[in-house]
A and B are shown apart, each in its own frame.
Chain A
Amino acid sequence: MGMKKATPEADFLPGTLEMLILKTLSRGANHGWGIAQHIQQVSQDALKIGEGSLYPALQRLLLNSFVEAEWGVSDNNRRARFYRITAEGRKQLLQEKKSFEFLLAGIARVMESS
């Protein structure tokens, strides 16, 4: 899962990428490139997602029925495959967010201890 060390992209905790994708899609349907761009912009270039990890992650979400895919037309009038979050996906996002925050808080406590 996730990235290989050798790639220039950021390292993720397992499952984090899926969470980010779901979060992105929760604002509205988007295509692969759009998702990657959105994550990069919002993270202010801290997180760069390559297709090598984006597409397998999307397949996992499809397999678990957290997202649906459909061909459509993009803003600049080009054909693109749009991903839409499902009700199950929203539930999953909520849950992942909770456990991620819990984890983050834990890590923070460890790092801040003297």
Chain B
Amino acid sequence: MKIWKRIRLLAQRRQFEEDLAEEMRIHREMAAAALGSDAARAFGSAAMSMEDSRAVWGFGRLDSWRQDLRYAVRGFRKTPAFALTVIGTIGLALGLNTTVFSVFNAYLLKPHAVRDPYGLYWYTWVTAKGQGHSFTWREYRDLCRQKGVFSDVMAYEKVFAGADGHGMFGQMVSGNYFTMVGTGTLLGRPLLPEDAAAPGGGAVMVLSHAAWQNKFGGDPAIVGKKIFMRGQPLEVVGVANPGFSGLEFPAEFWVPLTMHLPLIGGSDLFGPDNFGRDNPGSLLVIGRLHPGTSPDAARAALTAWSAGMTADLPKDRKAVGATLISQATQIPLTRDTVATFSPFFVAFGLVLGIACANVSNMMLARALSRQREIGIRVSLGAGRARLIRQLLTESLLLALPAAIAGFLISELTIALAQRVLYATLPPAFAKIVTMPNLAPDARVFGFILLASGAAMLIFGLMPAVQTTGSSLVQANRGDFGTDYRPARLRNTLVVLQVTVCALLLISAGVVLRGQRWVTRQNVGLDTHHVLDLRMVEKYQKRVVERLAGEPAVEAIAAAWKAPLYGATRHISVLPSGRKESIAAGYNFVSEAFFSVFRIPLVRGRIFTAGEAIGGAPVVVVSEAAARRFWPDQDAVGQTIAIEARPHRVPYYDRAPSYATAHVIGIVRDAISGVIANGPEPSYIYFPTSPRDADNDSLLVRVKEDSAAGQRALTATLDKIAPSIADQINPMDEVFAVQVYPFRVLFWLSAFLGTLALVLTASGIYGVMSYLVSQRTKEIGIRVALGADVRAVVAMVVKQSMRLAAIGTLAGVLFTLAVAPVFAHQLAAIDPYDVVAYGGGASLVLAAVLAASFYPSRRAVRIDPAVTLRCD
């Protein structure tokens, strides 16, 4: 209210002044008329009255702001290079930080575009061992009947399937999914409860906006078309809103859960089989909390319900608690998820810090070179607060364009990073990677403003406080050279910069060495010309028969898990002659697996086709396992006892149907899970065949190259039924994907490290140049007195190298301090790697040396005769 009045009046400033002057003139005339001119003289200064009146409206402060602003603009117009350097430096660092924040925002802060996203919770019950639970249809129905916790609950199952040949992530959902979530469609209609009315019915699907755009070319007539998935025709009934890409995990399509049997197979989800208590469920649930029910209250109620549901089960299957995870955002915002993100924030934040330090130093140098001006202002009576305000105005004037530059740079970076990501990812995976929506929103803008404000305070306030702190006498003399404090601040900034540089470069070195370690690993598998072919069970037998006659195919094997996809599955076995059981990596493979990957047999034999089909109680073990299980004996002919583990989901824990098995052969070691973890310490192969259930993969060795083989395979498969393969991945690319994170991390840390190095080097260069010009007189005297050229160079270089040495040492110590966090997580990463430390440290020192050498050359060229004359 008042502020508006002030602003309105400010706009009509001239009118105000005229009115006031006129009014006072009239006042005086009236007074003169009434009292005579003598009396009127007693009124005092009209200017003073005007000034007091103006002060009421706060014009004085606004005036001085405007003055500051005008003065700052004039100053920057005179030195545009300085202004541009500051804007560029801060803008670049801000832009990179904004990019990181955009990603963080997209996953952890931006709520789903649904009705009341904060009421949605993913729920499971947990056993005493902390194991979660997948629900059966019956359990889900029972949960739906529990009133008072959720106002509505939906069940879903995640699938990855090929739709018209495009591999896509999707969800099979209960009929209330879209109504419960509360999100509409861009085209057509959402799935409705009627779609999921009867088991086997509802051959319809809704596509996500992104899938519609990227996989189906944004076809405006897509609604009503039929898309084939796993041989089944599904009618597209709608395209979801662009803002909605699925809860819990990004989905590209939604299909009614009633299509479970035709699309997934196995036992009937709704059939009597699945009502038995021994059936492992497959459904996940998300509910909408009753308005007024707190998550804690819901947790308590659900714990009670789950305890009742599992009351008659053995102890290890009894539910003891409930887990509720908010589904408001793509990734729930918890302490753990924030901790995962924090290394990125720290690394990018440090770069911003370096940029600020650089600019701070530049501002400091600039302020010092204006010491005479400041001195004059002080002696004319300018207060310290007024001076600081003026210097801060200058910073603000730079921070605003820097924020704009930062925003543009972040937009560019995001676009570029997405393009680079798609270009460098192995193609089979680039096709299925989904990108979050990284468009800026209010949170991103808020972040830029906050970050640029904070940056401004750092780079503006420190020099402002420093340079205005000296005494009047000193300031008047223009004598800051003898004042020790700015030098100390400057040195601290340089040391901090070097510290951060060393930290980032050492990290880059560690990651690079890790990447080299991974690529040098002997995987023990020949992945060239091998394709991983994934489809539902019901097609596997037919496909293997068909492909066996295909001329392009050299060998084909079935496997429970294809190798190199990540975590190794473990099973507890008791080797004969030993007392305690050992957890060993394991897999179920058919006899051709070893020839497909060219894993050499060392001793004994591989299972026969008959053993594989019959699931005979025989196993092949790796060399490492043979050594570990029976150190001094021949492994062939020994037996292993397998711990019985009932009620497990075969997707995660598959157990053979027998209790003991004979070791019939030993094969060479191979890496099956994470390459960065190194070779498996022990590995067991159980026999299986394409006729068995629960095999995820068919592994095909083709005669030609993978691409041609893939085409031949697709053609053959399509003859069986349209789009039956979920995905066909060349194993070379699967391997490349394992190395990929290391490449990304390396390029990221190398990029940040280099940026930090360039910023620091240029900062040091600037500081040293400034110092040399400050000490021109001193150096001139030294040279005049006969100082050696080398001594002068050494003097300048030594000064910066001392700072660099302190900074590098601090960086090394700091890296060592955080190293334990990363130790023993991956065999490939050695956070104490001497080479990385040495390399990083020497790179930093070399850069500082180079940066201070040039200014030192300038010092050498100082002519004592000229410098001594100039004062």
Contacts and interface: CB of A to CB of B under 8 A. Distances in A.
Given A51-B49, A64-B2, A78 B26 contact: yes
B26 A59 contact: no
B56 A59 contact: yes
Contacts of A55: 20, 23-24, 49-50, 52-53
B34 interface: yes
A90 interface: no
Nearest to B30: A33
Given A7-B44, A63-B2, A63-B57, A33 B26 contact: yes
Contact of A56 (B1, B23, B30, B53): B53
Interface string B704-726: 00000000000000000000000
Contact of B52 (A8, A31, A32, A52): A52
Q: How large is the interface on B (under 10, 10 to 19, 20 to 34, 35 or more residues)?
A: 20 to 34
B546 interface: no
Given A52-B43, A52-B48, A59 B57 contact: yes
Contacts, number: 68
A63 B680 CA distance: 80
Task: Report the interface size class on chain A.
Answer: 20 to 34
A38 to B, nearest CB: 13
B26 A52 contact: no
B49 A52 contact: yes
Nearest to B6: A63
B276 to A, nearest CB: 79
B2 A56 contact: no
B51 to A, nearest CB: 9
A35 to B, nearest CB: 10
Q: Is the interface of B mostly helix, strand, loop or mixed?
A: helix
A99 interface: no
B419 interface: no
A51 B32 CA distance: 13
B450 to A, nearest CB: 33
Most A CB atoms within 10 A — which of B1, B5, B30?
A: B30
B416 interface: no
Nearest to B16: A59
A88 to B, nearest CB: 11
Contact of A65 (B5, B29, B49): B5
A52 B44 contact: yes
Given A50-B43, A50-B44, A81 B19 contact: yes
Contacts of B43: 50-52
A60 interface: yes
Best-surrounded residue of A60, A69, A71, A81 (most CB of chain B within 10 A): A81
B27 A51 contact: yes
> Lowest 9 CB-CB distances: which A-B pairs, in order?
A59-B56, A33-B30, A56-B52, A52-B49, A55-B53, A81-B23, A59-B53, A33-B27, A56-B53
Given A8-B42, A62-B5, A63-B2, 12 more contacts: A31-B27, A51-B43, A51-B46, A55-B24, A55-B53, A56-B53, A56-B55, A60-B56, A63-B56, A79-B26, A81-B19, A81-B26
29 contacts: A8-B42, A31-B27, A32-B24, A33-B30, A33-B31, A36-B27, A37-B34, A51-B24, A51-B27, A51-B43, A52-B43, A52-B45, A52-B48, A55-B52, A56-B49, A56-B53, A56-B56, A58-B53, A59-B53, A59-B56, A59-B57, A60-B56, A69-B19, A71-B19, A78-B26, A78-B29, A78-B30, A80-B23, A80-B26
